[in-house]
Amino acid sequence: MGKTSRRKSDSGRRQAKALRKETALLPFHFFFGAAWVLFGFVALGYGFHTREQGALAAGGVVTVLGGVLLIRAVMAWRRVQASRRT
């Protein structure tokens, strides 16, 4: 029975540590994600304007990667907000 309670407290500590790490990375994910999405849209616009296939491909990839960072930021922010409510 002692081992079970120790495992539970270790799990709680690990979750708290992961939440702190997520909170620390939140600004990075948000700002870099927004910058990448903006840069990707600029590259897409340039690619459409000049009919440059490389710019279109790069703009699409950068936009998707920036979107992933933004999604991670929103999910982390929601997790942090949920932990503050409890």
Q: Where in the chain are the domains?
A: 2-85
Q: What's the pLDDT score for residue 34?
A: 92
Q: What's the pLDDT score for residue 57?
A: 92
Question: Which residue did the predictor score with more confidence, 65 or 22?
Answer: 65
Radius of gyration from C-alpha coordinates of the chain: 20
Closest CA to 73 of 34, 38, 30: 30
Q: What's the pLDDT score for residue 36?
A: 93
Task: Indicate whether 35 pLDDT > 90.
Answer: yes
Q: What's the pLDDT score for residue 2?
A: 52
State mean pLDDT over 11-15: 73
Q: What's the pLDDT score for residue 8?
A: 56
Cα–Cα distance for residue pair 65/25, rounded to 1 Å: 16
For every residue of 22-72, DSSP letters joined together read HHHHHHHHHHHHHHHHHHHHHHHHHHHHHT-HHHHHHHHHHHHHHHHHHHH
* pTM more than 0.75: no
Q: What is the DSSP letter of 5?
A: H
